[in-house]
């Protein structure tokens, strides 16, 4: 009965299409609602909201720059620490690891992702922060003069936040990168070996083949770092500051939302907090778009035959 | 099929009728976290005495409590800082403030190798929190603490990062004793702190203070008592150094009775009186004068009568100070104005 078959197909298509549309509708509604509720501060401060540094709910003065800075700085630092580690784990598990310890390793990295962030935060307060403080106090005076190590050694601050974020990001990035590496066809590695590549060179060929997927894995980790709230607010010091110093207390957008939202009774303060949400939403959107663009341009330049990629990597 | 449906409908109707006949009153409230322990205790005890009354309280913060009672999503609200006149005007009806119990905020500190109890004065605390006094051996601290050997350690100021009634009480006091604080920072739940680092919640502040050598912060008295954190006495208006206790907090409130404004929106920080602890405050429950649901209103008024009477006896056990009798008398007069029919 070809008739019913097509109508079934059509129903399925409409059904799944609707679900797909729900996602778009939700994103659209979030953007609409955030904009609507932050209208008072958008009208009052305009672009100054993005570029001024005073956050004073009592005086009704709101500038989000320290929070934007803190969010981007902590996430980029976390990524710089986490990406190499996560890639190392992924390569080891996917390419080099003996079968027997592969399963426990996969299980353990995935367990890290399942720990609630409040637990990371508590561990951060009681273990990481004292350790960071000890590191800061033992740092030689010469280095302390550098702007990135300036300020008193308190333990809480940007460095602790970046470290805890890095630990939280590693399992996400490494899991996805591992799956991407596993999906690289074996012909890639065999081709490399056939051309006389060493093991390292063959792995490099596989990494090169999988590079768009790996970049996607890194961006997934970045997204996670941007939005992380609880663990960060417990160790970052929560002081709005625009400074490059790793030892200085700073603040992030997600943290100020969590901290001030429940007690904000003044309409302008509330509107400013909602606009922080809108800024975070916009920045996440921009980051995602940029990574899409990057992946897309990489995919375009990688259209050559598979063997060529392998040779390229082997020759490099 | 049809008869089955009829039976089911019948059952549902019977069930609904049954619940209605029981007249269970469920009242929802939301607001301040600071009085949550005593409120939970009250609602629990009251439910034991009146099994048909269930009061549900969400400790979501003073600001959220004010927002929710203004939008009438809860029957009553609760706050640690009184509602401002603009906030009262924004509400759809007249809102009454009822002081329920008293609390205090205490300075906690951590100086390595100093065992002696340190004394503080209001102006000194303000200067420390303004970032003007930066070392523990500063002459301003030494002057109040003759005999204590103070190290040259840096002072790390620790404040609350989350908006909080505790913060409100603390900065309300600092603004009263320091003109500079009043002009530069002001009074509110989330001030723009001139110095220091922020910890989330009482536990965040006390965690940072106990871990950071040279730190000073502030927490609620109950929190310091329950967790056995040592805290210092503060010099009051009469010049005496008073430690926060249930008695010294009630003493601060007793001074306020004579000058109580009719709407109970009063700050009792920096209270006069020799035995008054200066960083004390009421916490308020918020009710509409003319609530929509009169049945709930009747139940709530009965509960309030109990809370202001026998309920006060439960306060001290949880580290809160009970209300002075004079305040209770004034409140009962206001309670009589709440419409129950």
pLDDT tens-place string over residues B75-103:
999 998 899 898 899 999 999 999 999 99
Nearest by CB: A264 against B63, B161, B191 = B63
Q: pTM value?
A: 0.83
Is A264 close to B211, i.e. CB distance below 8 A?
no
Using an 8 Å CB-CB cutoff, list chain A residues near B204. Answer: 125, 234
Is B87 close to A265, i.e. CB distance below 8 A?
yes
* Residue B95: φ, ψ to 5°: -110, 135
Supply the pLDDT for residue A28.
94
Is A263 close to B67, i.e. CB distance below 8 A?
no
Is A249 close to B207, i.e. CB distance below 8 A?
no
* Mean pLDDT, residues A67-84 taken together: 96
Nearest-Cα distance to chain A for B233, in Å, is 26
| Whole-angstrom distance, CA of residue A251 vs CA of residue B161 | 10
Residue B102's closest CA among B283, B332, B254, B228?
B283
Tokens of B147: 């005999």
Supply the pLDDT for residue A307.
42
Q: B91 CB near a chain A CB, below 8 Å? A: no
Res A308 pLDDT > 60: no
Res B146 pLDDT > 90: no
Supply the pLDDT for residue B11.
46
Supply the pLDDT for residue B227.
80
Q: A234 CB near a chain B CB, below 8 Å? A: yes
Nearest-Cα distance to chain A for B68, in Å, is 10
* Mean pLDDT, residues A246-257 taken together: 94
Using an 8 Å CB-CB cutoff, list chain A residues near B189. Answer: 57, 263-265
Nearest-Cα distance to chain A for B246, in Å, is 27
Tokens of A6: 């097509």
Q: B197 CB near a chain A CB, below 8 Å? A: yes
Supply the pLDDT for residue B240.
93
* Mean pLDDT, residues A2-7 taken together: 62
Supply the pLDDT for residue A47.
92
Q: CA A75 → CA A66, A197, A251, distances in Å?
A: 14, 37, 12
* Mean pLDDT, residues A176-202 taken together: 90
Q: B191 CB near a chain A CB, below 8 Å? A: yes
Residue B15: count of CB within 10 angstroms of its CB: 10
Is B162 close to A155, i.e. CB distance below 8 A?
no
Nearest-Cα distance to chain A for B244, in Å, is 26
A with B: how many residue pairs have Cβ under 8 Å apart?
101
Res A123 pLDDT > 80: yes
Q: B188 CB near a chain A CB, below 8 Å? A: yes
Res A38 pLDDT > 70: yes
Supply the pLDDT for residue A312.
47
Nearest CA in chain B to A231: B200
* Mean pLDDT, residues B168-197 taken together: 93
Helix A158-182 to helix A211-227 angle (10° resolution) is: 150
Would you list the DSSP string of chain A?
-HHHHHHHHHHHHHHHHHHHHHHHHHHHHHHHHHHHHTHHHHHHHTTHHHH---EETTTTEE--HHHHHHHHHHHHHHHHHHHHHHHHHHHIIIII--HHHHHHHHHHHHHHHHS-HHHHHHHIIIIIHHHHHHHHHTS-HHHHTSGGG-S---S-SHHHHHHHHHHHHHHHHHHHHHHHHHTS-HHHHHHHHHTT--HHHHHHHHHHHTHHHHHHHHHHHHHHHHH--HHHHHHSB--------SSS-B--HHHHHHHHGGG--SHHHHHHHHHHHHHHHHHHHHHHHHHHHHHHHHHHHT-S-HHHHHHHHHH-
How many percent of chain B have pLDDT more than 90? 62
Nearest by CB: A263 against B164, B186, B196 = B164
- Residue of B78, B135, B211 for testing the chain A interface, max A β-carbons within 10 Å: B211
Residue B137: count of CB within 10 angstroms of its CB: 13
Supply the pLDDT for residue B16.
44
Using an 8 Å CB-CB cutoff, list chain B residues near A55. Answer: 192
Is B200 close to A233, i.e. CB distance below 8 A?
yes
| Whole-angstrom distance, CA of residue B36 vs CA of residue B308 | 16
Supply the pLDDT for residue A288.
87
Q: Which residue has the higher pLDDT, A303 or A235?
A: A235
Residue B198's closest CA among A50, A274, A165, A248?
A248
- ipTM of the shown complex: 0.79
Nearest-Cα distance to chain B for A282, in Å, is 24
Q: Average pLDDT of chain A? A: 88
**pLDDT bucket at A314, cuts 50 / 70 / 90:** very low
Supply the pLDDT for residue A4.
58
Nearest by CB: A263 against B154, B163, B208 = B163
Helix A211-227 to helix A267-301 angle (10° resolution) is: 170
| Whole-angstrom distance, CA of residue B196 vs CA of residue A57 | 17
Nearest CA in chain B to A247: B197
Nearest-Cα distance to chain A for B286, in Å, is 14
Residues within 8 A of B (CB atoms), A 83-122 only: none
Q: Average pLDDT of chain B? A: 88
Res B307 pLDDT > 50: yes
Res A151 pLDDT > 60: yes
**pLDDT bucket at A310, cuts 50 / 70 / 90:** very low
Give the range among B19-23, B104-108, B177-181, B289-293 with minimum mean pLDDT.
B19-23
> pLDDT, tens digit, for every residue of B208-264?
898 888 999 999 888 888 888 889 999 999 999 999 998 899 899 888 887 889 999
Q: Which residue has the higher pLDDT, A86 or B319?
A: A86
Q: CA B152 → CA A145, B49, B113, B133, B147, distances in Å?
A: 21, 58, 12, 12, 15
Is B199 close to A238, i.e. CB distance below 8 A?
yes
* Mean pLDDT, residues A168-190 taken together: 91
Using an 8 Å CB-CB cutoff, list chain B residues near A53. Answer: none
Using an 8 Å CB-CB cutoff, list chain A residues near B162. Answer: 258-260, 262-263
* Residue B157: φ, ψ to 5°: -80, 130
Is B212 close to A133, i.e. CB distance below 8 A?
yes
Res B21 pLDDT > 90: no
* Residues A289 and A197 sit within 8 Å (Cβ to Cβ): no
Res A154 pLDDT > 70: yes
Q: B134 CB near a chain A CB, below 8 Å? A: no
């Amino acid at each position: 009965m070809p008739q019913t078959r097509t109508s079934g197909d059509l129903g399925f298509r409409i059904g799944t299409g609707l679900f797909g549309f729900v996602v778009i509708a939700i994103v659209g509604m979030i953007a609409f609602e955030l904009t609507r509720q932050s209208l008072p501060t958008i009208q009052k401060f305009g672009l100054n909201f993005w570029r001024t540094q005073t956050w004073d709910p009592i005086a009704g003065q709101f500038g989000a720059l320290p929070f934007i800075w803190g969010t981007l700085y902590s996430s980029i630092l976390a990524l710089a620490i986490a990406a190499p580690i996560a890639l190392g784990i992924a390569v080891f598990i996917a390419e080099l690891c003996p079968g027997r310890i592969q399963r426990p390793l996969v299980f353990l990295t995935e367990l890290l992702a399942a720990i609630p962030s409040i637990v990371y935060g508590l561990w951060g307060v009681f273990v990481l922060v004292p350790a960071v403080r000890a590191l800061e106090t033992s740092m030689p005076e010469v280095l302390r003069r550098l702007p990135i190590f300036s300020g008193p050694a308190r333990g809480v601050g940007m460095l602790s936040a970046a470290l805890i974020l890095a630990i939280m990001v590693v399992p996400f990035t490494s899991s996805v990168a591992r799956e991407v590496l596993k999906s690289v066809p074996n012909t890639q590695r065999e081709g490399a070996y056939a051309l006389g590549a060493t093991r390292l060179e063959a792995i490099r060929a596989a990494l090169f083949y999988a590079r768009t997927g790996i970049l996607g894995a890194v961006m997934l980790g970045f997204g996670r770092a941007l939005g992380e709230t609880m663990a960060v607010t417990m160790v970052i010091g929560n002081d709005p500051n625009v400074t490059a110093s790793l030892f200085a207390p700073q603040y992030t957008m997600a943290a100020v939302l969590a901290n001030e939202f429940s007690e904000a009774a003044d309409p302008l303060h509330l509107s400013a907090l909602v606009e922080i949400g809108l800024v975070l939403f916009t920045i996440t959107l921009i980051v995602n778009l940029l990574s899409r663009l990057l992946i897309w341009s990489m995919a375009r330049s990688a259209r050559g035959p598979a063997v060529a990629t392998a040779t390229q990597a082997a020759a490099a | 099929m049809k008869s089955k449906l009829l039976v089911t409908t019948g059952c549902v109707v019977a069930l609904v009728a049954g619940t209605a006949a029981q007249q269970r009153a469920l009242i929802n409230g939301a607001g301040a976290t600071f009085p949550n322990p005593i409120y939970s205790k009250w609602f629990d005890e009251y439910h034991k005495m009146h099994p048909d009354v269930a009061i549900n309280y969400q400790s979501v913060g003073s600001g959220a409590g004010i927002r929710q009672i203004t939008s009438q999503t809860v029957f009553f609200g609760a706050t640690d800082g009184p509602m401002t006149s603009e906030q009262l005007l924004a509400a759809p009806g007249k809102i009454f403030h009822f002081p329920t119990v008293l609390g205090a905020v205490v300075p906690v500190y951590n100086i390595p190798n100093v065992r002696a109890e340190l004394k503080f004065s209001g102006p000194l605390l303000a200067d420390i929190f303004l970032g003007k006094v930066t070392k523990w051996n500063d002459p301003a601290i030494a002057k109040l603490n003759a005999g204590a050997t103070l190290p040259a350690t840096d002072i790390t100021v620790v404040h609350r990062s989350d908006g909080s009634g505790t913060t409100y009480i603390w900065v309300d006091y600092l603004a009263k004793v320091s003109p500079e604080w009043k002009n530069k920072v002001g009074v509110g739940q989330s001030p723009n702190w001139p110095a220091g680092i922020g910890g989330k919640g009482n536990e965040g502040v006390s965690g940072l203070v106990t871990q950071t050598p040279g730190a000073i912060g502030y927490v609620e008295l109950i929190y310091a008592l329950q967790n056995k954190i040592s805290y210092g006495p503060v010099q009051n208006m009469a010049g005496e150094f008073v430690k926060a206790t249930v008695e010294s907090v009630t003493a601060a409130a007793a001074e306020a009775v004579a000058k109580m404004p009719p709407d109970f929106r009063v700050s009792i920080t920096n209270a006069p009186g020799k035995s008054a602890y200066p960083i004390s405050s009421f916490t308020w429950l918020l009710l509409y004068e003319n609530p929509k649901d009169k049945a709930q209103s009747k139940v709530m008024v009965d509960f309030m009568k109990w809370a202001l009477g026998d309920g006060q006896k439960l306060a001290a056990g949880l580290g809160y100070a009970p209300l002075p009798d004079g305040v209770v008398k004034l409140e009962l007069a206001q309670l009589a104005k709440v419409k129950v029919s």
